[in-house]
Every structure is written in structure tokens, then in C-alpha cells.
Amino acid sequence: MELLDNLGIDGRLLLAQLINFVILLAVLYKFAYGPVLKILEERTKKIENGLKDAEESHKKLAEISEKEAAVLVEARKNAQQIIKKSEEAAVKNAEEIIVLAKDQSIKMLEQAKKQIEQEKEKILAEVKTEVAELIMVATGKIIDEKLDSEKDRDLINRSIK
């Protein structure tokens, strides 16, 4: 104690300041640090969920593209089979039947093309609808997080990283 007095330090005052500092640290930890960590964890979870949703939408888009390609391949196979059958029938029949078979094969090709086009339009409409829904969900999640400019900057910085 005498050494502290020689240095001009009051021991009781130092002890009181130390106790006040510990109390201040406890209050800050309980009311500031804890809630801030909780908010940061919640934001992290929201961002992770958004990334998962985006990944799922990419997977669904890839699946739809694969289905579209499979439908087109099947339609082409069907068109080729129809053409092959009509050609075989044309060879077996007389000139008159050949003319009729050619007309029929042309009609079938046009019909197959129309069918392919209809299938393609149907799939594209489904893709557009699903993409629009996914965009609406993702936008809703982003808008939920968009509260003020500081949080916007924080969100943008984390997105860039």
C-alpha cells in the first residue's frame, strides 16, 4: 500500500474503479455484445438459406432444361419414325399412292413440328413461371433483410465476399 501511496495512487479509488470497470464489462456483454452476436447469427442463417434457395432454383432450372431436351429428342425420333414408315409405304405402292404418301408425310412432319413447338412453348411457360416464383421468393427474402442503408452496405459487402 505504501508503494502505491508513494506513486500517488489511492488504493481504494483504484479498487473502486476496477469494480466499476468489471460491472461495465458485464453490462455491455449482457446488453450489447450478446444481442449483436444474435443478430449477426440470424443474418448469417438468412443468407445461407438464400444461397440454398438459389442453388435449388439452379438445379430445378437444369432439370427443366434436361426434360426439354429429352422431349425434343423424343419428338425428333417420333418424326423420324413417321417419315421412315411413310417412305416404306410409298415404295410398296404405285405412283399414285407414292404421291398420296408424300403428301401425308409432309402433313405428319408439319404436325410433328407443331407438336414440338407446342411442347417447347409449354415447357418454356412452365420454366418462366417457376423462375418468376423463385425470383419473387428470393426478392422477398432480400427485401426482408433490407432495412436501412448501413445494413444494405453490410449485406452488399458480405455478398461481394
pTM exceeds 0.85, yes or no: no
Q: Are 4 and 15 in contact (CB under 8 A)?
A: no
Domain count for the chain, please give it: 1
Domain range holding 29? 2-160
Q: Are 145 and 155 in contact (CB under 8 A)?
A: yes
Q: Are 112 and 77 in contact (CB under 8 A)?
A: no
Q: Encode pLDDT of 93-146 as tens digits.
A: 778 888 888 999 999 999 999 999 999 999 988 888 887 677 766 666 766 655
Q: Which amino acid is at 16?
A: A
Q: Which amino acid is at 93?
A: N
